[in-house]
Amino acid sequence: MRDGDLLIELAWQAEDTLEKWGLRFLHLLKDRVPCLQAVLYGHIEEGVLEYVAGYAVEAPPPARFLWGEGLLGEAARLGQPILKPLVEASPRPYGLAEVKPAFYWAYPWVYQGQSRAAVEALLWRALDPQEEAWLEEKGPLLAMLASGVFQQERIQRLLAELQTQNALLQENLRRLEETQAELQALNASLEARVEERTHELRRALEELSSTQQQLILSEKMAALGQLVAGVAHEINSPLGAIKGSAETLLEALPTLWQSLLVGMAHDPAAIAAGLKWVRSYLQGSDRVILTSREERALRKKYLQQLEAAGWTEEADSIARRLVEAGFILEDLSPLLPLLRLPQGLDLVYLAGQLKLQLENIVLAANRTRKTVFALKSYAHTSDRTHPVPTRLEESLETVLTLYHHQLKHGVTVHTEYDPEIPPLYLYADEIGQVWTNLIQNAYQAMQGQGELTVRTFPEGDFYAVRITDTGPGIPPEVLPRIFEPFFTTKPKGEGTGLGLDICRRIVEKHRGHITVDSQPGRTTFTVYLPRILAQPHWHEDGTAVERL
């Protein structure tokens, strides 16, 4: 048995016991006084008495009285007992058939200054002194009992309601248990479905990421395909210069040895001193590229010094060859002893040419190395899953090197890099694709003629890369859509419409943003990368943290 059921059962037993005691007192009243019938009333609210129970009542009395209504109401209002002859009292008819009542008796029970209950009785004769004394003594007890019985009536109703509510509660508990069981089953099913859905979403995300990487790689390869011819030329040109310089050196070596042998035979000391000075000069001087005007001025100065030293007919030829050999001197005096020797001019000229050609080879080799490095860096696909330290200017220069062949024929490139910007932790391959798309778009917009400006600078919480071209600009009606996938203004077959969308996605992956400002004759794209990228932040599995 549940606790609620047990409490209700005990309450019913207590109520039944009290009711039996009330009936015993009513019978006691009948046995001790000449009572035809007795009625108990209880107090239910301020100023109201309600019928509780009666003894030998053939016709039901009124269900309730108001204080001051009739003799019973008057007794309750005054809190005083009443005993009067029935004729004088003019009681209400109770429908007694055989014996006629002669006296009316009412007794209220007063508690804390208020009538809480009342007992009234109809008597068939007058009371003798002993009976009257007994009523005066037992009246309060009977009234109090009436109150208790009335309260039991109320308790009985409450218990009935409680029993009903308890039954409803038991039913609700049963339903709740069933619902909880259903919820547990649904929860288990839901967890399984959520796990399955999570797995599907994770797989879809991996596929999406793979597709995006393939798309970026596809764009990279497409751009590389367009650059192949120019890159090949950028490699072939230095190789041709290296080949030409090497051939020139091979051709000059016999003459150089012959001039050296002749000079040594004529004046070994002069040859040794002259070559020592030439070697010291060539080792200590940097290569200077002179304009035609500067070459003419230098040749004129040499001519004047040679003529002052006694050369006449050969002075102009000597001055010209010294300039061609790369000698830039304020005073020719150190060379004059060597120039006076047989084939001395050839020896000096070939020494200068040897240095020039070797410098050409070094420059061409460095240029080739730079192009190959840029090509390798661009074409390389990293398998790293986290950002790496990357200098913005190096990343930009790699792309500019690959576009050098296209840009040099009509586009003037201006670069302005802030040296204070530290290396940023970037997905280097992907960020390089951003520069490629923006520079390629700028070149195509200018149709190979104009100015391209690339700047890096700090701005607020970001480091910015700004790429500006002097193309015709982007029409205002087109500008809001340029970052939409598959949107392009290029002729059919010349663009996929994915370049700027890829740029936007890559920049947002780095927690940055990209803006565009365009007007006729100028378009500027600015990429903003947060300063926090200057600090490494990884997950334990090597991937970038969410705030990166």
Question: pLDDT, tens digit, for every residue of 78-115?
Answer: 888 888 887 554 445 444 445 577 788 887 877 666 77
Q: Please, which residues bridge with residue 54 across strands?
A: 39
Rounded average pLDDT over 159-185: 80
Work out the widest C-alpha separation in the chain, in whole angstroms. 183
pLDDT of residue 421: 95
Tell whether 345 and 434 lie within a shared domain: no
Tell whether 389 and 358 lie within a shared domain: no
Cβ neighbours of 113 (radius 10 Å): 6
Tell whether 320 and 399 lie within a shared domain: no
Q: What is the bridge-based pairing of β-strands 450-459 and 411-416?
A: parallel
Q: Which helix (H) or strand (E) holds 113?
A: none
Asked if 134 and 30 touch (Cβ cutoff 8 Å), the reply is no
Q: Which has the minimum average pLDDT: 24-33, 132-141, 357-366, 536-545?
A: 536-545
Please check whether residue 197 lies inside any domain of the structure: no
Tell whether 392 and 416 lie within a shared domain: yes
pLDDT at residue 198 is higher than 60:
yes
Number of domains comprising the chain: 3
Amino acid at 50: E
pLDDT at residue 285 is higher than 50:
yes
Cα–Cα dist 254/38, whole Å: 157
Tell whether 85 and 60 lie within a shared domain: yes
Q: What confidence category does residue 8 fall into, taking pLDDT thresholds of 50, 70 and 90?
A: very low
Please check whether residue 89 lies inside any domain of the structure: yes
Please check whether residue 539 lies inside any domain of the structure: no
Tell whether 294 and 413 lie within a shared domain: no
Q: Domain boundary residue among 156, 179, 205?
A: 156
pLDDT at residue 164 is higher than 50:
yes
| Residue 130: domain span | 18-156
Rounded average pLDDT over 524-543: 77
Please check whether residue 216 lies inside any domain of the structure: no
Tell whether 413 and 445 lie within a shared domain: yes
Tell whether 359 and 397 lie within a shared domain: no
Average model confidence (pLDDT) across the chain: 74
Which residues are CB-contacts of 191 (< 8 A; sequence separation ≥ 6)? none
Please check whether residue 140 lies inside any domain of the structure: yes
Q: What is the CATH number of the domain that holds 498?
A: 3.30.565.10
pLDDT at residue 193 is higher than 90:
no
The Cα-based distances of 133 to 32, 33, 34, 72, 171 in angstroms read: 11, 11, 14, 21, 56
Q: What confidence category does residue 283 fall into, taking pLDDT thresholds of 50, 70 and 90?
A: low
Q: Is 392 exposed, middle or buried (0-12, 13-18, 19+ CB in 10 A)?
A: buried
Cα 117–Cα 119–Cα 121 angle in degrees, nearest 5: 165
Q: What confidence category does residue 370 fall into, taking pLDDT thresholds of 50, 70 and 90?
A: low
Q: Domain boundary residue among 328, 344, 367?
A: 367
Tell whether 345 and 407 lie within a shared domain: no
Q: Report pTM.
A: 0.44
Q: Domain boundary residue among 156, 179, 210?
A: 156
pLDDT at residue 375 is higher than 70:
no
Please check whether residue 170 lies inside any domain of the structure: no
Give the residue carrying structure tokens 């565009």. Answer: 516
pLDDT at residue 220 is higher than 80:
no
Q: What confidence category does residue 458 fall into, taking pLDDT thresholds of 50, 70 and 90?
A: very high
